[in-house]
Structure 1
């Protein structure tokens, strides 16, 4: 937190006993800070707020109208009651337990409403460094779906959709459902699902909807392990785990007909889905829908297989340069993407590379004569 926002925040917090309404200002600043937005950047997101409104607690409180608070709550997907200081629950409860198709419907609606959908929007928080289906000790997890709502410079700003089922890897029904969802996302869309380890206390806060998870999910998309490792066969991946349970996972997918789910047509968009200026024009909306359908088909048929291949290759050898992974993909004619240029393939897989590989040029070493 910068000294400027820290000073304003502390002055607001310090005045809460004598001036209870100050909690509204505290939480208004907190929701921006916890989404990676500095106090001086708030007017770029909410033009109704001027820099002059941020010079003191009194000026800020005076500027916070009910309409502005409602707009802020909608933008970040948080509860208006929390922003108003009425209670401590930031997020509405999201659950897909016993209804795994609900997770897919929610994700599909976000993909449809977005002008530029994230290729890998799902993260899963866990307290266990290594998930183990045979370990009876509770292993809670929290799936989080990211939705891009703005950009400040080159930094994306996300809305977070936190599923608070209390999924427990040691409890077979919830584990099987989560594996089924991940397998569908991997096989149908080529989505990788990184696992991020957090503390038990933080997990409790997340599952109770009392914590904005940005600081936990802002990391490399290639983790060891990733959740899709638990739904691969040994033939598909050298790092496959718990493959013995795959028949049960496939039975769950069949029972709920998850592989038949259409990511192209969803009747209802999520209630807080952002609406762009172009979506307000009928002709632009029709054109955007057609383009989104073609993009989604290309993602599935062309790019999803190479994303899975890249993840597998880096799972086997995390030191492989991006250029080497691109070379191996291009040497495999079975991939439709192999006909594309090196730069096109690189663009698609670069964000999947391990931390030590991303950003490196990856040139092959010169051959000694």
Structure 2
């Protein structure tokens, strides 16, 4: 009855059908495995993508939104709004010239933008070098015209002479542009200093007060700010952008209350040490140099 099964023709066909079934089952399994494993094969962001992220972060940290970058750069650099649609598109459009111009405009180190260093800003340090600090202020004031200064203490710092080691940070900014109406939108370049100055330590407290006196002579009245200790330390180390931290914390204390002697101001916090600061500046030759640059020492109220 089943003699046809012994026929070699049918035997060959059966064998081929079996092979085909095995082949397609194998393909099905491989396809299933490939689909299931695809997510784990996703590649991490490339270094180029990370650079693009830092590039955009620079502008964001200075109050410039992503779609405003072409407006800041101007037509000469060829960057269009369409190029900013995705990081992938932007990565193919930003040139070395654009990167260098961005760093130069905002005082950012190219090594940070390239991902080589963690410090965002060039190192600036004027401890025991008040003459250098005077030159620095003279330079940025000539470059920008309008300068603002921030003296930032830690929340826990009570400004006591108790050997506490809370850092006090100095941050300056110079005006780059006014966008729209004056006072509505300003673009600033920031200059954070890396001095490790502590109010509780006598020598550096004298330095802090001397620096504030220099600011006063340059007609720069500093904003006294208060921030968490971690933020102050990061500012001193140059690891963060200042603008996102500073604006909502203005005038929490008054650094210039500490630089005048009795009878020179309505607000005198430590007149005796204010005179000691001037004596130290005289001894080091800094007062003479400052007066040569700014004129006679100015005080709010002259003694009668």
Asked whether the 8 Å contact 1:131–1:169 carries over to 2, the reply is no
- Determine which structure has more spread, i.e. the larger CA radius of gyration: 2
Structure 1 residues 241 and 87: CA distance shift in structure 2, 3 A:
same
Task: Give the TM-score normalised by the residue count of structure 2.
Answer: 0.76
1:24 paired residue among 34, 51, 60: 51
Q: Distance in 1 between matches of 2:290 and 2:127?
A: 20
Asked whether the 8 Å contact 1:70–1:80 carries over to 2, the reply is yes
Q: Distance in 1 between matches of 2:135 and 2:43?
A: 42
In the alignment, structure 1 segments of 5+ residues that lack a partner are: 1-14, 266-295, 310-333, 335-369
What's 1:196 paired with?
225
Q: Distance in 2 between matches of 1:85 and 1:74?
A: 17
Q: Distance in 2 between matches of 1:264 and 1:110?
A: 18
Deviation at 1:238? 3.5
Q: Distance in 2 between matches of 1:25 and 1:58?
A: 9
Q: Distance in 2 between matches of 1:224 and 1:16?
A: 47
Provide runs of 4+ in structure 1 moved above 2 Å.
Answer: 128-133, 188-191, 215-221, 236-239, 255-265
In the alignment, structure 2 segments of 5+ residues that lack a partner are: 1-41
Structure 1 residues 213 and 21: CA distance shift in structure 2, 3 A:
same
Task: Give the TM-score normalised by the residue count of structure 1.
Answer: 0.63
What's 2:242 paired with?
213
What's 1:347 paired with?
none
Asked whether the 8 Å contact 1:16–1:23 carries over to 2, the reply is no
Deviation at 1:100? 1.3
Q: Distance in 2 between matches of 1:220 and 1:21?
A: 35
What's 1:260 paired with?
288
Q: Distance in 1 between matches of 2:223 and 2:261?
A: 18
Count of residue pairs the alignment pairs up: 255
Structure 1 residues 174 and 161: CA distance shift in structure 2, 3 A:
same
Q: Distance in 2 between matches of 1:131 and 1:224?
A: 12
CA RMSD of aligned residues (A): 2.6
Deviations 1:3-46 (A, max 9, x none): xxxxxxxxxxxx98242321111001100000111112111111
1:59 paired residue among 84, 89, 112: 89
Structure 1 residues 16 and 238: CA distance shift in structure 2, 3 A:
farther
1:81 paired residue among 107, 111, 115: 111
Structure 1 residues 137 and 41: CA distance shift in structure 2, 3 A:
same
Asked whether the 8 Å contact 1:130–1:225 carries over to 2, the reply is no
Structure 1 residues 220 and 58: CA distance shift in structure 2, 3 A:
closer
Deviation at 1:263? 8.5
Q: Distance in 2 between matches of 1:155 and 1:129?
A: 33
**Aligned pair 1:249/2:285, yes or no?**
no
